[in-house]
Structure 1
């Protein structure tokens, strides 16, 4: 039997702990980068194809497709779990009045979609974004037709009824768009915090933190990539774990879109890959 001195034993313990720690970090990295994110591709007018992207393998898989009417547009997509999605659909501005109404389109892979009319919107309001929060509820962001007046709302997924979240007031003169959450491990407070983006007239984009528990609207970090200010806005945000969220967009006049991560503390963006979709979503937990 091999005998170790006290010093040798201590060195062995440290080495073993270090190796185990590295193994844990390796597993944690794989767990984070193996997240599945979902997107909607529009191969032709009126056709929406829902895809999944495995961030670990970069594999893209088409899950299902759904058709909408010629006078409609897709505003957002949210993932409800178990291959079930809710899409916010609204009439195009060019569509004839009364021809189409705003609706929630629930799409489950392998089943026929179901439609629920949205109620509670003013005539000049549009449900621009829908977010499935960490606790499973639906929160939305509405825009007035001038896009300079935004309101945070609760949405009843069963009835389509919309009610204003009264303790959050967004400045009327500023433009807000997109919703997402970051899920911090063992931090219950993260359930009540939602991120949106604020766009200046020049297009400079910053994060804004909405604290639903405290009723606070807090300006966040200016977004940057490779040390340069991001001034192109986004097609959508999507929830993620840790201190980050996902963003879909591209520099001005560049197509197709790219998928990025955003550090919610610093505003630093990191390119993941190019992805030819128009909207994205993740699970409510960001996993």
Structure 2
């Protein structure tokens, strides 16, 4: 027997079918978003209160500062997670700490968080720099993603300086794969946070930094600041921010590590687009960049000079940034809950 459906009934069924499919798609998207969290890190109050004029160099170089992890709901701003680690010591504290006297010492905070990345073993990797009267010291900290039930103690090691680069600090980190090998890519300042900068590989087991020509990493011009490394989950390309040098204002750039220059044998830094907010080009650098699993690029910055960072979306084609909400942390990262 042939089954005949009236036109009105057929339309109703079609609408129900479309709504069901859309609902299923929306639900799966929501679940995907819920399983991925945006994490932020900031120093604990105790670690933030230390000033470089009063901190002992050896103690600071061998210390893991207290760090607060936060996660928020995008829509409501509700804090989903707020966990704090206790201070600790690095695993290689017995190794010699190379010090160098500073000509000028300013009474400013000693500790600052300079990078936040997801390591190959799915733990968080954080770079922290301690400023003292006898030099600045970088430490690599690893910790399992915090849960509502608690947070595990962090592990850390001080990052070694080359003898001819006593004023160097780690200003960026990205755990990535290059030619099938898992590496830890770093941005190194040769002037305690200021240009000149260079790219380097950091050994996560020893803390040794390698910025030699043999790495093939791109050159950074002397007056250029490169920071905020982030990798797209869609195409695997590595992005960063760049300010100064020939580009002038703040730009989004791509680090091309595969197609090396014929003469130098090094990778390239490709300027993509100038970053802007409310149609005004940005002059100062951002605090952090991070990709969501869907490929949306987010930025953390204090564009209104309010003393508190906020979260923005970034249009990678136009460079336009759109405010999402305030998020009072120093660095951000997306990771599975």
The interval holding the TM-score normalised by the smaller chain is 0.7 to 0.9
Which of the two has higher C-alpha Rg?
Answer: 2
Corresponding residue of 2:321: 269
- Aligned Cα root-mean-square deviation (Å): 3.5
Identify if the C-alpha distance between structure 1 residues 120 and 16 changes in structure 2 by more than 3 Å, giving closer, same or farther.
Answer: farther
TM-score normalised by the chain length of structure 2: 0.68
What is the match of residue 149 of structure 1? 196
Change (3 A) 1:243 1:38: closer
C-alpha deviation, 1:209, in angstroms: 0.6
Distance 2:31 2:269 in 1: 32
Q: Which residue of 2 aligns with 1:181?
A: 231
When structure 1 is superposed on structure 2, of 76-85 and 237-246 the one drifting more is: 76-85
| Partner residue of 1:90 out of 95, 120, 129 | 129
Pairing 1:228–2:284 present: no
1:78–1:282 Cα contact (<8 Å) kept: no
219-228 vs 56-65, greater mean Cα deviation? 56-65
Report if aligned partners of 1:204, 1:233 keep a CA contact under 8 Å in 2: no
Q: TM-score, normalised by structure 1?
A: 0.79
More strand, by proportion: 1
Question: Which residue of the partner structure matches residue 241 of structure 2?
Answer: 197
Q: Secondary structure at the match of 2:170?
A: strand
> Relative to 1, partners in 2 of residues 1:254 and 1:140: Cα closer, same or farther, differing over 3 Å?
same
Shift of 1:240: 2.4
Contact 2:300–2:332 at 8 Å: present in 1 too?
Answer: yes
Instruction: For 1:198 and 1:26, locate their aligned partners in 2 and report how far apart those are by CA, in whole Å.
Output: 37
Q: Which runs of 5+ in 2 are unaligned?
A: 48-65, 90-108, 260-266
In the alignment, the residues of structure 2 paired with residue 2 and residue 199 of structure 1 have an alpha-carbon distance, to the nearest angstrom, of: 71
Name the structure 2 match of 1:160. 207
How far residue 13 of structure 1 moved from its aligned partner, in angstroms, is: 9.4
Counterpart in 2 of 1:65?
Answer: 85
Corresponding position: 1:128 with 2:174? no
Q: Is the 8 A contact 2:200 2:217 kept in 1?
A: no
Change (3 A) 1:218 1:32: farther
Cα distance in structure 2, aligned partners of 1:211 and 1:268:
23
Cα deviation, 1:50-74, whole Å, max 9, x if unaligned, reads 1122436643211332337984432
Q: Match of 1:159, SS?
A: coil
Matched, 1:208 2:253: yes
Structure 1 residues 156, 2: CA separation in 2 closer, same or farther (over 3 Å shift)? farther
Which residue of 1 is the match for residue 101 of structure 2? none
> What residue is the counterpart of 1:187 in the other structure?
none
